[in-house]
Amino acid sequence: MLVVFVSSQYLTFAVLFILYYGITHLGTLLPMPQWSVFLLMPALALAGLRSRKIKQVEKPS
């Protein structure tokens, strides 16, 4: 559950960079590559969480 909470924070930062700073102040996203990192980190965290759950299901009891 903690991974979901932290991932939502990173997604919030990504939206902040994309919509507020990038589009309204700069007019483009190219000078600010931070938004891509803030989208990549929750994707990796959720992928790791998913692979961990799959391994737990496959383990024999």
Query: Residue 15 corresponds to which amino acid?
Result: V
Task: Please check whether residue 35 lies inside any domain of the structure.
Answer: yes
For residue 55, pLDDT over 70 is answered with no
Average of per-residue pLDDT across 1-16: 84
Task: Please check whether residue 34 lies inside any domain of the structure.
Answer: yes
What would the pLDDT profile of 29-38 be if each residue is shown by its tens digit? 777 777 788 8
For residue 6, pLDDT over 80 is answered with yes
Total-model pTM: 0.61
Task: Please check whether residue 61 lies inside any domain of the structure.
Answer: no
Q: How far apart are the C-alpha atoms of 46 and 35, rounded to whole Å?
A: 17
Task: Name the domain count of the chain.
Answer: 1
- pLDDT at residue 9 in the model: 87
- pLDDT at residue 53 in the model: 66
> Hey, what are 15's tokens?
């939206």
Task: Please check whether residue 52 lies inside any domain of the structure.
Answer: no
Question: Domain range holding 16?
Answer: 2-47
